Chains A and B, each alone.
Chain A
Amino acid sequence: MANSLRRQFVLALAAATPFMAGFGSTGPVLAQDGAIRLGIVAPMSGPNARYGAFSLRGAQLAAKEINDAGGIDGRKIQVFSADSQGTPVEGVSATRRLISQDKVDFLIGDVSSSVTLAMQPVVEDAGILLINAASSNPKITYAAGVGGFKWSFRNYPTDENRALVVAQYAAEKRGFTKFAVLSVDSDYGRSAIEFTKKYLPRFKGQILTEDYYKEGEVDFRSVLAKIRDSGAQAIIMYGLADTTPIVARQMIEVGLAGKIPLIGNGEFNTEKTIKSAPKAMEGAVEAAAWLPAYDSDKSKAFVAKFTTEYREAPNNHAYVHWETVRLLGKAVEAAKSIDRAKVRDALKSIKYDSAVGEVTFDDHNQAKLPMILLQIEDGKPAIKGAFYADIDYPR
Chain B
Amino acid sequence: MSLQETSLPAPGRDLRLPFGLALAALAASAPLLLGSYALHAVIISLIFLLPAHGLNLLVGYTGLLSLAQAAFFGVGAYVSALMAVHWGTPFYLNLPAAGLVAGALALPLAIPALRLRATSFVMCTLGFVIIGQAIAKNWISVTRGDMGLSAIPKPHFAIGPASFTVNGTTEFYYLALAVAALATAIVWMIVTSPAGRNMVAIRENETLAESVGIPTWHYKLLVFMVSAAFAGVGGSVYAHYLTVVSPLTFQMSYSTLMLIIVLGGGPGTISGVILGSLLFVGLSEALRIAPELRMIAYGFCLLALVFWFPKGFTPLIERFWTAIGGRS
The segment from A19-27, A240-248, A305-313, A387-395 found at the interface with B is: A19-27
- Measured in the bound complex, the distance between the Cα atoms of B289 and A83 in whole Å is 11
Q: Is A229 part of the binding interface, using a Cβ–Cβ cutoff of 8 Å?
A: no
Chain B residue contacts of A20, Cβ below 8 A: 286
| Chain A window 8-44, contacts with chain B (Cβ cutoff 8 Å), 1 for yes, 0 for no | 1101100110111111000100000000000000001
A19 and B283 in contact, given A9-B316, A12-B313, A83-B294 (Cβ under 8 angstroms):
yes
Q: Is B282 part of the binding interface, using a Cβ–Cβ cutoff of 8 Å?
A: yes
Chain B residue contacts of A114, Cβ below 8 A: 146-148, 150, 244, 246, 248
- Measured in the bound complex, the distance between the Cα atoms of B294 and A93 in whole Å is 14
B: number of interface residues (CB 8 Å): 45
**Interface extent on A, as a size class?**
35 or more
Chain A residue contacts of B251, Cβ below 8 A: 87
Please give the distance in Å from B50's CB to the nearest CB on chain A. Answer: 15
Contact of B243 among A96, A121, A186 (CB under 8 A): A121
Of all chain B residues, the one with the shortest Cβ separation from A82 is B288
A89 and B44 in contact, given A11-B308, A23-B38, A99-B36 (Cβ under 8 angstroms):
yes
Q: Is A143 part of the binding interface, using a Cβ–Cβ cutoff of 8 Å?
A: yes
Chain B residue contacts of A9, Cβ below 8 A: 316
Q: Is B167 part of the binding interface, using a Cβ–Cβ cutoff of 8 Å?
A: yes
A16 and B146 in contact, given A23-B34, A89-B242 (Cβ under 8 angstroms):
no
Interface of B is mostly: helix
What total count of A-B pairs have CB within 8 Å? 124
| Chain B window 138-177, contacts with chain A (Cβ cutoff 8 Å), 1 for yes, 0 for no | 0010000111101100000000000000011000000000
- Measured in the bound complex, the distance between the Cα atoms of B38 and A93 in whole Å is 10
Interface of A is mostly: helix
Please give the distance in Å from A142's CB to the nearest CB on chain B. Answer: 10
| Chain B window 288-310, contacts with chain A (Cβ cutoff 8 Å), 1 for yes, 0 for no | 11011011000001001000110
A96 and B289 in contact, given A45-B294, A125-B167 (Cβ under 8 angstroms):
no
Chain B residue contacts of A45, Cβ below 8 A: 291, 294-295
- Measured in the bound complex, the distance between the Cα atoms of B34 and A117 in whole Å is 26
Please give the distance in Å from A207's CB to the nearest CB on chain B. Answer: 15
Chain A residue contacts of B242, Cβ below 8 A: 88-89, 92, 118
A118 and B283 in contact, given A11-B309, A83-B291, A191-B147 (Cβ under 8 angstroms):
no
Please give the distance in Å from A301's CB to the nearest CB on chain B. Answer: 30
Q: Judging by beta carbons under 8 Å apart, are B316 and A23 in contact?
A: no
- Measured in the bound complex, the distance between the Cα atoms of B136 and A190 in whole Å is 13
A101 and B248 in contact, given A114-B146, A139-B150 (Cβ under 8 angstroms):
no
Most chain A CB within 10 A, of B246, B292, B301, B315, is at B246
Q: Judging by beta carbons under 8 Å apart, are B36 and A190 in contact?
A: no
- Measured in the bound complex, the distance between the Cα atoms of B283 and A298 in whole Å is 44
Q: Judging by beta carbons under 8 Å apart, are A19 and B295 in contact?
A: no
Chain A residue contacts of B37, Cβ below 8 A: 23, 96-97, 99-101
A-B contact list, 9 entries, CB within 8 Å:
A9-B316, A11-B304, A18-B287, A18-B289, A88-B242, A88-B244, A89-B238, A118-B150, A185-B146
Given contact pairs A11-B308, A20-B286, A23-B37, enumerate 7 new A-B contacts (beta carbons under 8 Å). Answer: A19-B279, A45-B294, A93-B285, A96-B36, A101-B37, A117-B148, A187-B246
Chain A residues proximal to chain B, CB less than 8 Å = 5, 8-9, 11-12, 15-16, 18-23, 27, 44-45, 81-83, 87-89, 92-94, 96-97, 99-101, 113-114, 117-118, 121, 125, 137, 139, 143, 185-187, 189-191
